[in-house]
Amino acid sequence: MTQIVQIVGIGLVLTVLVIVMQEQRGDWAELVRIGGGVLMLLFLVAPLIKVVNDVTRIAVLASIPGVYLGLLFKVLGIAYLTTFAARIAYDSGESGIAARLELAGKLFILLLAVPLIASVTDALLKLVPS
């Protein structure tokens, strides 16, 4: 419970700092924004590790193959990183670069999912009597 208070506090301090620095020097406001954003994401890492471990344990209990779970986590990681980078670009006013980054993330997630889709299609085709 103290952690969420901490993160909210960092967010508020960061907002005030960026607003103050935006008028003086825009480049420094940008730096502070990126640094604070990274810091807030780093604070989220510890809870995220707990969630990942718990999900892995539940998946083992449900005897879900580890390949699928690894794929899911890979997709999550790609989404995490690309969203982070795209948000930085978007905050800097470069919405075009942000859109391209998100497109790249979606494409690579699709790339990971294609074998699964193929295997599902194969299974369906086997069910259909030709």
Partner 1 sequence: MPNIDLIFKLAGIGILVTVAYTVLERLDRKEWGQLVALAGIAIGFLMVLQEVAVLFRTVRSMFNL
Residues contributing to the site for partner 1 (CB under 8 A): 10, 13-14, 17, 21, 24-25, 27-28, 31-32, 34-36, 38-39, 41-43, 45-46, 48-49, 52, 70, 73-74, 76-78, 80-81, 84
Nearer to partner 1, 60 or 81 (CB): 81
| CB 117 to partner 1: min, Å | 21
Residue with smaller CB distance to partner 1, 20 or 121: 20
Give the list of residues 6+ apart from residue 70 with CB closer than 8 angstroms, or none: none
Q: Which helix (H) or strand (E) holds 129?
A: none
| Per-residue burial over 98-127, b = 16 or more CB atoms within 10 Å of its CB, e = otherwise | beebbeebeeebeeeeeeeeeeeeeeeeee
CA R_g for the chain: 20
Write down the least CB distance from residue 29 to partner 1, Å.
8
Of 77 and 121, the one with the shorter C-beta distance to partner 1 is 77
User: Which of these, 19, 43, 39, lies nearest to 29 by C-alpha position?
Assistant: 19
Q: Closest approach of Cβ 102 to partner 1, in Å?
A: 17
